[in-house]
Structure 1
């Protein structure tokens, strides 16, 4: 994308719980505090959050701890050769794949981050409704 990052907190099925869009100049570890902000008010049962190695920083652990969450960074096996499916991480990657199937989100057409967030939210609602409609 052109200068934007989307941080997504998803459940175990890959359905988004919280989305944050900001400029690409903000590091992942700083974006995590925006993601964790006020999350325990809406989802008080949430206790553990899995993240990839981009979020492996002291400030990310502090942001999670300040919101009553335990952060576990999912790492790749150091002995692995070639491609390897990383436990827990594929769930978020699948969510981004679902978002990419939406025509409006296939490329970065939006000028404002708030507009992009609105279309990502609409796409998430769409595949959430489709999942509910399945028999």
Structure 2
């Protein structure tokens, strides 16, 4: 165990140095912040990686209500996505890439939900009752944006929602590789509405079962990275926005490990 670490999920000194300046400052007025924000981050990451309930957070971290308060506040004001996007740009620049990707890969993943109330639906194709994660990644497998919907939403409909939220992160995108599900009216709609194009990558061998396909394997690897966090093995959240925040946090952890290497 490295110095200043209580659990394996805690940030190392190098990782903390990469993110500490991105943590929002305390609100002006009132008492100065006395809480150790590194421990707050460690507590949040412990929940994401280990998959426990918030109230089961170990006593070494700040009170679980306090830790959850910061998670929820930063979820609602977009802080988690801003931190994630800043780190993605740094990882790309470290790899010698431009901070804004020009190509990406789009896909979805249907996951089961629990008995916790919240939006859900049935994916007849995957035979899954739960939610669907629509993600767009760059050619390094780094997340650009995620949208979580009921599993009953079709992939093309989910893609339209995702593109509507894309914002500045996709301003240099010119090509996105997709599977055959996204063919049809969506391709024409993207050509008319966006600056990029969708390029389907299809199987040609007629074989059944899993097969590694050019370009598309990148997004499949990203899904594998996400499910290394037990909180993401299913969708345990009441709100889809919470699920999205958890995914941004999981990818933030991946990128911090790269930046600190």
User: What's the TM-score, normalizing by structure 2?
Assistant: 0.47
Q: 1:108 to 1:60 in 2, by over 3 A?
A: same
Determine the C-alpha separation between the residues in 1 that align with 2:145 and 2:180.
Answer: 19
Mapped contact 2:227–2:233 kept (Cα < 8 A):
yes
Q: Secondary structure at the match of 2:205?
A: coil
Q: Residue 16 in 1 paired to residue 134 in 2?
A: no
Tell me how far apart the structure 1 counterparts of residues 171 and 247 of structure 2 sit (CA, whole Å): 24
Deviations 1:9-48 (A, max 9, x none): 0001100001111111211011111122253633322100
**In structure 2, do the counterparts of structure 1 residues 64 and 93 end up closer, same or farther at CA, with 3 Å as the change threshold?**
farther
The Cα offsets for residues 99-128 of structure 1, whole Å up to 9 and x where unpaired, read as: 000121122221221111111111111112
Q: 1:97 and 1:65, CA in 2 relative to 1: closer, same or farther beyond 3 A? A: farther
Query: Is it true that 1:68 corresponds to 2:195 in the alignment?
Result: yes
Structure 2: which 5+ runs fail to align?
A: 1-110, 113-129
Q: Does 1:25 align with 2:161?
A: no
- Structure of larger gyration radius: 2
The one-character-per-residue Cα deviations of 1:67-124 (angstroms, maximum 9, x if unpaired) are: 2111101101235576531111110010000000012112222122111111111111
Aligned residues: 134
Among 28, 40, 59, which residue is 2:186 paired with?
59
Give the TM-score taking structure 1 as reference length: 0.87
Q: What residue in structure 2 maps to residue 106 of structure 1? A: 233
SS at 2:134 equivalent: strand
Q: Secondary structure at the match of 1:31?
A: helix
* RMSD of aligned Cα (Å): 1.9
Larger CA deviation: 19-28 vs 105-114: 105-114
Aligned counterparts of 2:227 and 2:170: Cα–Cα separation in 1: 26
Structure 1 unaligned regions, length at least 5: none
- Higher mean C-alpha displacement, 71-80 vs 115-124: 71-80
Equivalent residue, structure 1, for 2:162? 35
Contact kept in structure 2, 1:40 and 1:46, CA below 8 Å: no
